[in-house]
Amino acid sequence: MEPKKNPKADLTKNSSLYFVVGLFAVMLLTYIAFEWKTYDEVNNYDISMNVDDLLDEEVPMTEQIKTPPPPPPPAAPEIIEVVEDEEEVEETVIESTETSQEEEIIEVDDVVVEEEMDDVDVPFAVIEDVPVFPGCEKESDKRACFNSMIQKHISKNFRYPEIAQEMGIQGRVSVMFVIQKDGSIGNIRMRGPDKNLEAEAARIIGKLPKMTPGKQRGRAVRVPFSIPINFKLQ
């Protein structure tokens, strides 16, 4: 059987031209599809022209507005009749407060005002009579004796906390306390670098003996006092 295809026919002779024409046609259709626009219908008339029709509508009266009645006219003022007073009025005589030489003047003794002192704290530096530390009763300078006895008491009862020694803690602890009106020690407060050092300072001050209370104007008062305690490792 003989083949029907012509062996001399060239099928790829114009394939490039056909490809270019087809590609151009596809791109043209794509461009037209993207550029195609549609518009909504617009009514070309002026809306403001219908305003007159709305203004011409009659609004029915549903209720008649009632105006309040006018206020009544003011009443005529009453006629005041003047009546002559025939009764006699007694005159009041004001006596002078100035004293005459004949009157005796009673002298009043000076009134003694007793000063009431409030329960206040008087600092150690300004108090008239400082608290007396036991053993300083016969000393002339009781203030200097007080400071000396405080230092001796601290040196005698001083004990370095073992925990602070092991941790290498040292420093200064400021101790504030109050010598009460009965000579006892109270209101002890501490401020230092470590709680163990503060506790030791409080223990030392708590062992202070009872003293003769300080006095201001002859009355016993509370006397605040502060002293530093140094903790130093050797």
3-state secondary structure 119-185: CCECCCCCCCECCECCCCCCCCCHHHHHHHHHHHHHHHHCCCCHHHHHHCCCEEEEEEEEECCCCCE
Report which secondary-structure segment, H or E, holds 205.
Answer: helix 195-206
- Closest Cα partner for 233 from 160, 145, 148? 160
Amino acid making up residue 218: G
CB atoms within 10 A of CB 172: 14
Q: What is the pLDDT of residue 33?
A: 82
Task: List the alpha helices (DSSP H) in 15-83.
Answer: 15-35, 51-55
**DSSP state, 212?**
B
Give the pLDDT score at 181.
Answer: 92
Give residue 35's pLDDT.
Answer: 80
Name the residue ranges covered by the structural domains of the chain.
142-231
How far, in Å, CA of 130 to CA of 122, rounded? 10
Amino acid 96 reads S
CATH topology of domain 142-231: 3.30.1150
Per-residue pLDDT of the chain (234 residues; tens, 9 = 90+): 555 556 665 666 677 778 888 888 888 888 888 887 765 655 554 544 444 444 445 545 544 555 667 777 776 666 666 556 555 656 665 665 665 555 565 565 555 545 555 578 899 889 999 999 999 988 899 999 999 999 999 999 999 999 988 899 999 999 999 999 999 999 999 999 999 999 999 999 999 999 999 999 989 999 999 999 999 887
